[in-house]
Structure 1
Amino acid sequence: MSAAQAMPAFGAVLSAVQEGCFHCGLPIPAGADWSVTIDHVARPMCCPGCESVAQAIVANGLDDYYRTRTGFADTADREALVPEQLRLYDASTDEAPDDAETIEASFTLEGIRCAACVWLIERRLAAVPGLLQADVNVATERLHVRWAVGACQASDILQALQSIGYRAYPYDAKRHEEYLRTAEKTLFRRLFIAGLAMMQVMMYAFPAYTATDGTLDADMDALMRWASLLMTIPAVLYSALPFYQGAWANLRQKALGMDVPIALGIVAAFAGSLDATWRNTGDVYYDSVTMFIFLLLCSRYVELLARRKAASALQKMQHALPASALLLKNYPADRASELVPAGLLKQGDVILVRPGDAIAADGTLIEGQTSIDLSLLTGESQPVGKTVGDAVPGGAVNAAQPMLLRVDKPVKESTMAALLSLIEQAGQGKPQLALWADKVSAWFVAGLLLLAAGVFVAWQIIDPSRAWPIAIAVLVVSCPCALSLATPTALAAATDRLLRHGVLITHGHVLETLHRVSHVVFDKTGTLTYGKPVVQKMQLLGSASREDCSRIASALESANAHPLAQAILRYGSNDTNSLQCEQVEYVAGQGVAGRIGNADYRIGNAQFVSGMAGALPESSEQSGMTSVYLGTQGNWLARFDISDEIRPDAQQVIRTFTRLGKKVILLSGDRQSAADRVGRLLGIDTVYGDKLPQQKLDVVRQLQEQKQGAIVAMVGDGINDAAVLRAADVSFAMASGAALAQTHADAVVTSEHLSTIADTALVAARTMAVVRQNLGWASLYNVIAIPAAAVGWLNPWVSAIGMSVSSAIVVLNALRLRHIKLQAASMTSLPKQVRPAPV
């Protein structure tokens, strides 16, 4: 069908759907708020099924379907989406290499009400054939899955989730943000209605509580009951709906989540009150029901806000890369700029970055002088100055003047993109404490239901009039929520704090394992040191001045990319009146020769320079350093002693781990003498040098296989550290190091401060303490509150307060971790007397 033929058909369909679902044409139920944006217009949908199918069509670029269709689509099943339609999602997750054995993908989850939902989702997905891994991050409401190629499809996963009442779709930052905003508004609306109902019902219940015998007329009492019933209905049927949905999903899967006792408590109390109102005899609990619903929703609203806060740093990083950039197509001939999608930028393109704009891709500054804000990338709070020739990472923010940038890497390969790929792993997996809490919560609910039934039977024998309220109180007072929230909330808060401080946690076990490590193993180059040669000293060997020697050396090395040459250039960067070198000759492995003015010069190793300068005069070379000599015809001029520079906070980091009772080891591929020197300067007793990657791996494995079984933390940065990083029990990679090392590590240090690793160890200790406090409080509360309710000491509304307060205490206690004071900032300006000497 041509476009011209299709337009009338599309117009007819469009006019027919003005009153109904845009996808299937059926009437839209009253109060429905499902919609999908098609052709920049929000189109109404009649159910979640049609909404998901339409969204899949749009997300996969198939909008033309709606423009060319001649009729409505088949209606989507209200209980489960049609598999053929769901398979539209498969295209977006099947872009794996031909030789790939598994596929990984992230999905946004809708409908997560609390931490217990995680257990149900993971249990259901475990039954999907071919699905190898499913991890739910409750803080960000994201699902990360991995499945075998050919054995499973994205549609199978989505259908499994739909069958238990949860909706999911491939992660899209904009849609995910819209969902979170909508979910928060919906929960607040339910909370508002429940609060309004509670206040009104309390007003009607107050006369009954305060009246003495005979002071409240029977007709007035009946009127108060009926008024309370009318005000309770919106809370029970609308505000409490998430609890019923959660309980029904649990029961359909033959599981017992914490929504089950909550729903039973609400229904039982309301049913008993309704019966008493109808018969005009017995007690009513409308005030308890509305208060229970209100307090529970308050607790969940606080939990929701806590999860949002705990994930705030991750969300900021995910939105850091701009969607567009100002491209200078004809630079330098023409400076006209054009707004283009950032994803189309390629190596060599020149872009304009205005003040306040985020930088779209990694590049080199070619014009302008500015300061950039690296806070999202490294946690560094102070702007960093940049001038022509400096590298600038994508994701940073231009904080001062306009600048021109030459793109070095496409957006998908930028520094921020690499961090975002690591963020995809953040929150996946669970430590043992979280797994234990999930299992305990499930058994806890089963035991609670049995106990409530037993208490009801016992009180039927003792005092039948109290059996119903006491059984309700037992159901209401219990708090499996606190057990389920104790660990994930604390981990999310601690992870957020560390990310803002410059440490990206990519695996869930890091904090728990780091707290238990016995050995901390450091690589040397690029980890304890900067990995960049620095001239530590220039020794004059002749009559030439220090400034002249520096200028001559810089002129000889001006075009040399060797790391030692670059160190000499940096050393002489402040010298004025630079010289011009001619007849430059590079001798591989030895040095550089050239002519400056009327004289010939050489710079390089002693043997190379002695061929022009003669016999080397006696001089004391520095142990552990590389010496580069400068000479001219018949004269020695200077010696440059070059070495790697130890990070200023390295010594303090070693002291911190030693004070915490950890055994610190230096494990380096550098020569033994250089490694020993660093070990002496930093106070490390055990030093291994001259180790190849396999030998490094052997050292770590030998530690782990000891009789006591050491728990090893490894810190490295190079490609040769990838294997040992993966083998360690917990590992850290420096963000300035190789990408391969980062992908094999459990955490990435995005800041320049080594001290953030010591801070992470302190945060780990505090986090585990908070987790233990939360688990201890949750256990103690339930041990005391449930028996108190069972013997009749607590009525339902008091139980509701106790349950809500218990959950709130756990959440608020965990949020304290977001404000831990850390020390890395103060370590960057150590006094000279505690700074280690150069290597």
Structure 2
Amino acid sequence: MAKVKCNHCHLEFDESVMIKEGDLNFCCKGCQGVYHILKDDGLDSFYEKLGNKTIAPPIEVDDDIQRFDTKSFEDTFIKTTQDGYNQIDLIIEGIHCAACVWLNEKVLFETEGIISADINFTNNKAKIVWDNDKIKLSQIILKIRSIGYNAYAYDASVADEQVVKAKRSYFIRMMVAVFASVNIMMLGVAKYTGFFTGIDEQIREYIHIGEFIFCTPVLFYSGWIFFRGAFYGLKNRILNMDFLVSSGATLMYIYSLYILFGGKGESYFDSVTMIITFVLVGKYLEVIGKKSAVDTLDKIKSSIPLEATVVKEGVKKAIALNSIEVGDIVEIRSGEKVCVDGKIISGEGTFDESSLTGESLPIFKKVGDKLYSGTINNDSLIRYEVTKTYKESTLNSIVTLLEDSLSSKPEIEYKANEISKGFSLTILTLSFLTFIVWYFFGIDFGFDYENVSHFEKSFIVAISVIVIACPCALALATPIASLIGISELAKKGLLFKEAKFIETMAKADTLVLDKTGTITKGELKVKKARILDKNIHKLNLMYSLLDSSTHPISKSVKKYLQKKYDNLELKDIFDVKTVQAKGVVAKYKNIEGKTFHLLGGNVDLLRENQINYNFDSGNSVYIFAINRRVIATFELADEIREEAKDLINSVQKNGLEVVMLTGDNESIASKVASKVGIKKVVSHIDPIGKADYIKKLKKEGKIVVMAGDGINDSVALANSDVAIAMGNSADVTISVSDIVLLNSSLSSLKYAFVLSRRTYKFIKQNLLLSLIYNSITIPLAMAGLVIPLVAALSMSLSSLLVVANSMRIKLKS
């Protein structure tokens, strides 16, 4: 059978398996696909550069590629964004440096239909958003595979397996390199001793052969990951760190072969081996450092049980969490963890909520109270009704937020990536110019190398320039510090939805605080009650109206009535409407068909409904009326959080202006502000007014951080630069927030400012360290003051220095 050559990989194959396309011949569908991708992307000049050389065929496509487009896969892994696009978290397999991240992002960004693609270097996790009408997920996976990487949907257990697998692969390659390095160093002792004292030429040749034997597997097995990364970088016209390492080592290897086969000079097999070994050890320690920073996420994940006991028609059955539906009845025994959120329907007892809030004391729960996933039942048999599915439950939401934040990037990282894009090309240019200056102009700033030819000296200096340069330190500076910062914040009950908010908080100059539930405990207590009509029917209507509202005042009055009266019942009220910053109105129709107009709120609500009722108080008030007749009045006071004054003093010392926004009257607002040290107060303001005030501050150039807890804060929070929701906030408030304080503690908010500034400071330190390293070491290498062996060690140490410096974030956290 005749042999033909593939138009992509240039390998010869039997004509019987050929894929014919006009004048083109392909050995497989993979080569055919890559050929068209390169042509469509304008990268077909690659074949001119390739010449007659052959390359490996692309990664084979799985037969089940279409499974990525199935309904079951979509339900399990794909989310829908607010704009109606599809979103998925993928793990990109094969990434081992920042340039790999840049390559994948570049290719994905240029693919039609992909809205955004953010890949985090620390965990190889990609968040991809795409328009499903323009491109399918299977096509995105194929695109990633076409450039030499692989992708699969993020799954915690699978991801952990892949991390272990990658770590094992690095370890084996590293140990091969270390074993060879130890042996080649022993030969090196003999060689360099003979270099100064004299050595028999035949023994010298034997040493060169021994070095060749140890060096070759290190270069082509241990160093294969660098060749692979360099190949796919060149394939997409990108010069990356892998190219610097592999080109420097290969050039020295080729020169050493020339010496081995009769050329004059010294071989550098030992330097080749040590370059690969040092870089691999550095990369392995880098992986270890990143893994330790992700341990916080692993600890939180371990709080989620694998299955739950569901009671259906009196029969108990253990089922997987994904199969639990809203309305199911779950039973938990003493010592078991709550698997999904719910409401107690039977039993009472204490629960350990420290995994969520950091609160060390057990919390007593009874029938009707809410349970949160991840908390522990301490002492009794409890049955509860499921109110949220596993995906929507508290602990899973926390894990999702953390994972998303670890996949995001601060603005400063994008700037660093811009700087590093042309780094490799600049280094190669400097290396070439160094060789020209040393060789052709005879300029020599370095040490006097005895018994070394002028060409060899120029060549070695040029290689040192390539090897010593480290784009990885620059690219690693931001993500490793952000990862550690987010992990430390999570330990204190602070969930950052995106890493970029660390930078924003560090730069903030204005803190806006809601009063009720933020500065105060939000646990208003009735100090004075005046019930003018104690008819049980009217009390039930008041109780029903209070039950329809989530406002702290309504909750407190409702709790007061529950304690005072045992026989209250909820009535079917309708047309319930919340009047912003004033109260709630509703209607009730009795069995005779008569309609009652119910009203509950402050004096402004009464006036708006033409009810003339004078009621002056220095506290918060709640007035209930039926058909414009006042039935009851309540005066309430809220306790200020113990840590509020400490927070406000701390942020003011750091130059932030603190503003309190509240819907309460000026008298109440001023009293609270004076107690905690807030100088600027805006009172009697509705939710739209709060939002307008935030917009006004931003127009003045302020960077605004706002913390709030109620639905009435949601519009203002959405307009701030950083929105912080207290852990007990309404769901809508949490959904528009950027940071969630799980324990609702203002001490945690203070810590958020402290650690954000600290993390941002270390990010800038890391960038400065990497820039100083390269600006000092590259000129030294160009001057011939650094040999390749030391250059390789320096490059590895620069990345480790960035990792070690980032670890210092933990010291005061």
Q: What TM-score range do you get, normalising by the shorter chain?
A: 0.7 to 0.9
Separation in 2 of the partners of 1:305 and 1:383? 36
Alignment CA distance shift 1:96-1:455 (3 Å): closer
| Equivalent position of 1:763 in the other structure | 755
| Equivalent position of 2:272 in the other structure | 289
| Equivalent position of 1:626 in the other structure | 621
| Equivalent position of 2:49 in the other structure | none
| Equivalent position of 2:224 in the other structure | 241
The alpha-carbon deviation at position 219 of structure 1 amounts to 2.0
Moved more, 343-352 or 83-92: 83-92
Matches within 5 A, 1:5-16: none
Tell me the amino acid that sits aligned with residue 814 of structure 1: S
| Equivalent position of 1:717 in the other structure | 709
Equivalent residues of 2:59, 2:148 under 8 A apart: no
Equivalent residues of 2:351, 2:363 under 8 A apart: yes
Matches within 5 A, 1:237-316: 237-279=220-262, 281-316=264-299
Alignment CA distance shift 1:540-1:147 (3 Å): closer
Matches within 5 A, 1:537-556: 537=527
Separation in 2 of the partners of 1:719 and 1:580? 30
Residues 797-817 of structure 1: CA distance to partner in whole angstroms, max 9, x if unpaired?
111111111111100111222
Residues 637-682 of structure 1: CA distance to partner in whole angstroms, max 9, x if unpaired?
x997423333221221111111111111112344444433332332
Residues 755-798 of structure 1: CA distance to partner in whole angstroms, max 9, x if unpaired?
21221111121112111211111111111111111111111111
Alignment CA distance shift 1:585-1:186 (3 Å): closer
Alignment equivalent of 1:396, drawn from 356, 368, 375: 375
Tell me the amino acid that sits aligned with residue 248 of structure 1: F
The alpha-carbon deviation at position 230 of structure 1 amounts to 1.0
Separation in 1 of the partners of 2:194 and 2:226? 34
Equivalent residues of 1:351, 1:407 under 8 A apart: yes
Q: Secondary structure at the match of 2:648?
A: helix
| Equivalent position of 1:457 in the other structure | 436
Equivalent residues of 2:619, 2:636 under 8 A apart: no
| Equivalent position of 1:37 in the other structure | none
Alignment CA distance shift 1:646-1:556 (3 Å): farther
Separation in 1 of the partners of 2:102 and 2:425? 15
Matches within 5 A, 1:174-189: 174-189=157-172
Q: Secondary structure at the match of 1:405?
A: strand
Alignment CA distance shift 1:449-1:370 (3 Å): farther
Separation in 2 of the partners of 1:559 and 1:696? 29
1:358 is aligned to 2:311: no
| Equivalent position of 1:689 in the other structure | 683
Tell me the amino acid that sits aligned with residue 505 of structure 2: L
Equivalent residues of 1:48, 1:78 under 8 A apart: no
The alpha-carbon deviation at position 320 of structure 1 amounts to 3.9
| Equivalent position of 1:728 in the other structure | 720
The alpha-carbon deviation at position 572 of structure 1 amounts to 10
How high is the sequence identity, in percent, across the aligned residues? 31
Matches within 5 A, 1:317-328: 317-318=300-301, 320-328=303-311
Q: Secondary structure at the match of 2:521?
A: strand
TM-score by length of 2: 0.78
1:800 is aligned to 2:784: no
Between Structure 1 and Structure 2, how many residues are aligned? 701
| Equivalent position of 2:185 in the other structure | 202
Matches within 5 A, 1:819-838: 819-821=811-813
Moved more, 654-663 or 396-405: 396-405
Equivalent residues of 1:265, 1:472 under 8 A apart: yes
Equivalent residues of 1:478, 1:786 under 8 A apart: yes
Equivalent residues of 1:496, 1:818 under 8 A apart: no
| Equivalent position of 1:534 in the other structure | 525
Equivalent residues of 1:422, 1:743 under 8 A apart: no
1:775 is aligned to 2:775: no
The alpha-carbon deviation at position 346 of structure 1 amounts to 3.1
Separation in 1 of the partners of 2:422 and 2:81? 44
Matches within 5 A, 1:416-565: 416-461=395-440, 462=442, 463-535=454-526, 537=527, 562=547
The alpha-carbon deviation at position 445 of structure 1 amounts to 1.4
| Equivalent position of 1:27 in the other structure | none
Equivalent residues of 1:93, 1:154 under 8 A apart: no
The alpha-carbon deviation at position 484 of structure 1 amounts to 0.7
Separation in 2 of the partners of 1:457 and 1:296? 27
Residues 322-375 of structure 1: CA distance to partner in whole angstroms, max 9, x if unpaired?
331012224xxx5x6321122232344332224553311112345555544434
Q: Secondary structure at the match of 1:520?
A: strand
Moved more, 150-159 or 204-213: 204-213
Alignment CA distance shift 1:326-1:819 (3 Å): farther
The alpha-carbon deviation at position 167 of structure 1 amounts to 0.9
Q: Secondary structure at the match of 1:139?
A: coil
Unaligned runs of 5+ in 1: 1-46, 50-76, 542-553, 591-603, 608-619, 630-637, 822-839
Equivalent residues of 2:356, 2:743 under 8 A apart: yes
The alpha-carbon deviation at position 211 of structure 1 amounts to 2.9
The alpha-carbon deviation at position 187 of structure 1 amounts to 1.0
Separation in 1 of the partners of 2:572 and 2:733? 34
Q: Secondary structure at the match of 2:481?
A: helix
Alignment CA distance shift 1:691-1:473 (3 Å): same
Alignment CA distance shift 1:378-1:247 (3 Å): farther
1:648 is aligned to 2:671: no
| Equivalent position of 1:89 in the other structure | 68
Equivalent residues of 1:379, 1:499 under 8 A apart: no
Alignment CA distance shift 1:281-1:694 (3 Å): same
Q: Secondary structure at the match of 1:340?
A: strand
Residues 540-570 of structure 1: CA distance to partner in whole angstroms, max 9, x if unpaired?
99xxxxxxxxxxxx99999996566864686
Equivalent residues of 1:556, 1:581 under 8 A apart: no
Alignment CA distance shift 1:651-1:396 (3 Å): same
Equivalent residues of 1:106, 1:424 under 8 A apart: no
Q: Secondary structure at the match of 1:144?
A: strand
Residues 8-27 of structure 1: CA distance to partner in whole angstroms, max 9, x if unpaired?
xxxxxxxxxxxxxxxxxxxx
Equivalent residues of 2:180, 2:218 under 8 A apart: yes
1:211 is aligned to 2:194: yes
Equivalent residues of 1:376, 1:500 under 8 A apart: no
Moved more, 395-404 or 118-127: 395-404
Tell me the amino acid that sits aligned with residue 305 of structure 1: I
The alpha-carbon deviation at position 131 of structure 1 amounts to 0.9
Q: Secondary structure at the match of 1:412?
A: coil
Q: Secondary structure at the match of 2:318?
A: strand
Q: Secondary structure at the match of 1:504?
A: strand
| Equivalent position of 1:660 in the other structure | 654
Alignment equivalent of 1:677, drawn from 671, 679, 683: 671
Tell me the amino acid that sits aligned with residue 482 of structure 1: A
Equivalent residues of 2:331, 2:384 under 8 A apart: yes
TM-score by length of 1: 0.76
Tell me the amino acid that sits aligned with residue 432 of structure 1: E
Alignment CA distance shift 1:111-1:445 (3 Å): same
Alignment equivalent of 2:94, drawn from 111, 123, 126: 111
Alignment CA distance shift 1:717-1:194 (3 Å): same
The alpha-carbon deviation at position 623 of structure 1 amounts to 0.8
